[in-house]
Structure 1
Amino acid sequence: MDQQGMDKRRLAVLVGCNYPNTRNELHGCVNDVLAMKETLLTRFGFKQDDMEVLTDEPESKVKPTGANIKAALRRMVDKAQAGSGDVLFFHYSGHGTRIPSGHPFKKDEAIVPCDFNLITDIDFRELVNQLPKGTSFTMISDSCHSGGLIDNEKEQIGPYSVSDDKPLAMETRTTMTPITSRALPFKTVLDHLSSLTGISTSDIGTHLLELFGGDAGLKFRLPAMDLMDLLEKMTARERHVDAGILLSGCQADETSADVGGGGGKAYGAFSNAIQTVLKENGGALKNKQLVMMARDVLERLGFQQHPCLYCSDQNADATFLSQP
């Protein structure tokens, strides 16, 4: 390994939300992040002390609330050094949702922490904008509606720029393994928050601010004009030098599958596809290669979801997690 590779710091935040003993319960999310943790340690040179793992298992001391996830991500960014080539990684397995954006025909993507304090695509864009120059932030989101979770990130592989001419996969699975969607409809999220606040309004921001105050997402905390200014600054950024890399489990209008929960070991379909590709290919893989191979695995197994890649042109051809 060259000196630069030796000096790189590899930092990770891994989040798995199974929502145990609720009507929204999933089964494979904690398994996803534990499998990824092992892969980071054994293949990609990450160290135990440079990883934070947040799960909602009963024995977990730090739960994956919205505030705790954002605090862990902020700590990770604060540790990164400018010009170092530091590799930052965030894996999320759990529910995703889409919420009104304030613009007709457009919705914002969000992940759903265990306390329903939504983290939106705008929050992830703001995080990427804070990265020290010369570092990278790779995000895997095995959740529904995860395409576009870093706002205004350039699409490399997605619904509008597919890299091959194969038709979309149809549902062909014949197994009886239980399959659960990792999607929470907006109404489900709104009804849950309304039950906590007791406020009768369809404005989700009102509920989030009432429940979480300053820990609510940027979209809900900033006045409309300030948010517009922020979004304009984001749009003006040069996307070809952007440091954000998003590998999403599906397109923005699709759902991601949570598999199992019966007798077998549960997992996320996309997370499992990533692990399968890495095991079948021992060498370094480009981000673009990894996503296309994961698409092939899911199609082969009959899953009707299409992983996407959002990043700069340069990072599309960069090695996944800068594997030595």
Structure 2
Amino acid sequence: MARGRSLHIGLNRVDPARYNGWNGKLIACENDARDMDELAGKAGIEERVTLLTAQATVDNVTAELRKAARILAPGDFLFFTYSGHGGQVPDLNGPEDEPDRLDETMCLFDREYIDDELYKEFESFAEGVRILCLLDCCHSGSGIRVREILTPEAMEEQFQTTDPHQVETTSRLMPLDKQAELYERDKEFFDGIQRELNAKDNRELGATALLISACQDNQLAADGLRNGLFTATLLEVWNGGEFTGGYKAFHREILKRMPPTQSPNLFITGRANNRFIRQTPFTV
């Protein structure tokens, strides 16, 4: 019988001492993590970990991922969720890795966590492990401003304001000026991480990783009072387990219910596993 394990991360703020005075205040990310944990439990996943705000450090997240990699065997299931701010840093791996020459990041409590770091952890999982990754954040491209991607009408519909500055504080995107400021301050550190990862053996991903993210790269993910818009819509579609269909149908139904200004993205990488893709979501 397959074994399931889940890790749910939600940050309503970050450590301003590590982010040059920016606290990244959000409202609903901890609720997202709790609700995903509850969903996982009802889906039959017994081994669950939730890291909220100050608990969600790079060391803690890395330790939990490595523990899961040691435990899970072929055919087992990892359910990973993140709700918080997203950001970007310049990509040193060249245009083949990231066409926009930028690496996406998750804003953990003590620093940004580069997507290459997450992928490297996924490489440690046994061949045949199924990984479901849900990211309720956004990584809008460098130089793209709110007023360039949202009309006043779209701002009002998605964020209940026509003030671009207010939108930037209620979306799950690290402000672009803060992204640039932190990279300039920590350039040597982030570049060093990428060089170190590139120098290591790049193994093919033996697991199958299925990622559903809250929006496209040129869009913003909305926070909310109870849940982020993506998480709230996902829970509505799931309907306490009443949803029938595979992951692609699940993604399509979520997409159908989202506003045109926020279109969740589905991405699959690693070992081909059509059986996983066709399974009812969250199946252990």
Q: In structure 1, what residue type is equivalent to 2:263?
A: H
* Pairing 1:224-303 to 2, within 5 Å after superposition: 227=198, 233=202, 237=204, 243-260=208-225, 266-279=226-239, 282-299=242-259
Q: Is the 8 A contact 2:172 2:222 kept in 1?
A: yes
Q: Which residue of 1 aligns with 2:51?
A: 54
Runs of 4 or more consecutive aligned structure 1 residues displaced over 4 Å after TM superposition? 20-23, 174-179
Q: Does 1:187 align with 2:187?
A: no
Could you tell which deviates more after superposition, 284-293 or 27-36? 284-293
Runs of 5+ unmatched residues, structure 2: 17-21, 142-152
Q: Which residue of 1 aligns with 2:157?
A: 173
- Secondary structure at 1:304 match in 2: coil
Q: Is the 8 A contact 2:86 2:173 kept in 1?
A: yes
Distance verdict in 2 for CA 1:91–1:175, change over 3 Å: closer
Q: In structure 2, what residue type is equivalent to 1:45?
A: G
After superposition, what is the alpha-carbon deviation per residue over 1:175-234, rounded to whole angstroms, capped at 9, x for unaligned? 84896110013531453x4xxxxxxx826342xx4xxxxxxx7x633537x61675xx46
Post-superposition offset of 1:112: 0.5
Q: Is the 8 A contact 1:108 1:120 kept in 2?
A: yes
Q: CA RMSD in A?
A: 3.1
Q: Which residue of 2 aligns with 1:69?
A: 61
CA distance in 2, matches of 1:249, 1:92: 10
- Secondary structure at 1:202 match in 2: helix
Post-superposition offset of 1:138: 0.9
Q: In structure 1, what residue type is equivalent to 2:157?
A: R
Q: Which residue of 2 aligns with 1:93?
A: 83
After superposition, what is the alpha-carbon deviation per residue over 1:86-126, rounded to whole angstroms, capped at 9, x for unaligned? 110111000001111134641111101011x2221211221
Q: Which residue of 2 aligns with 1:114?
A: 109
CA distance in 2, matches of 1:189, 1:296: 31
Q: Which residue of 2 aligns with 1:32?
A: 32
Q: Is the 8 A contact 2:140 2:173 kept in 1?
A: no
Q: Is the 8 A contact 1:140 1:246 kept in 2?
A: yes
CA distance in 2, matches of 1:319, 1:253: 30
CA distance in 1, matches of 2:159, 2:209: 37
Q: In structure 2, what residue type is equivalent to 1:248?
A: S
After superposition, what is the alpha-carbon deviation per residue over 1:131-168, rounded to whole angstroms, capped at 9, x for unaligned? 11221111000001299xxxxxxxxxxxxxxxxxxxxx
Post-superposition offset of 1:36: 1.2
Quick one: which of 244, 253, 267 aligns to 1:310? 267
Distance verdict in 2 for CA 1:322–1:141, change over 3 Å: closer
After superposition, what is the alpha-carbon deviation per residue over 1:51-97, rounded to whole angstroms, capped at 9, x for unaligned? 110002xxxxx61011211111111121102x3x1110111000001
Q: Does 1:132 align with 2:130?
A: no
- Secondary structure at 1:173 match in 2: helix
CA distance in 1, matches of 2:267, 2:2: 23
Q: In structure 2, what residue type is equivalent to 1:131?
A: F
Distance verdict in 2 for CA 1:280–1:14, change over 3 Å: closer
Q: Which residue of 2 aligns with 1:202?
A: 184
Count the aligned residue pairs.
Answer: 252
Q: In structure 2, what residue type is equivalent to 1:220?
A: G
CA distance in 1, matches of 2:194, 2:257: 41
- Secondary structure at 1:110 match in 2: strand
CA distance in 2, matches of 1:93, 1:293: 20
- Secondary structure at 2:263 match in 1: coil
Q: Is the 8 A contact 2:88 2:179 kept in 1?
A: no
Q: Is the 8 A contact 2:159 2:222 kept in 1?
A: no
Post-superposition offset of 1:322: 5.0
After superposition, what is the alpha-carbon deviation per residue over 1:7-53, rounded to whole angstroms, capped at 9, x for unaligned? 111100000000079642000101111111111112x1111xx1110
Q: Does 1:220 align with 2:180?
A: no
Runs of 5+ unmatched residues, structure 1: 1-6, 57-61, 148-169, 194-200, 210-216, 261-265
CA distance in 1, matches of 2:174, 2:61: 19
Distance verdict in 2 for CA 1:204–1:308, change over 3 Å: same
Q: In structure 1, what residue type is equivalent to 2:104?
A: E
Distance verdict in 2 for CA 1:175–1:68, change over 3 Å: closer
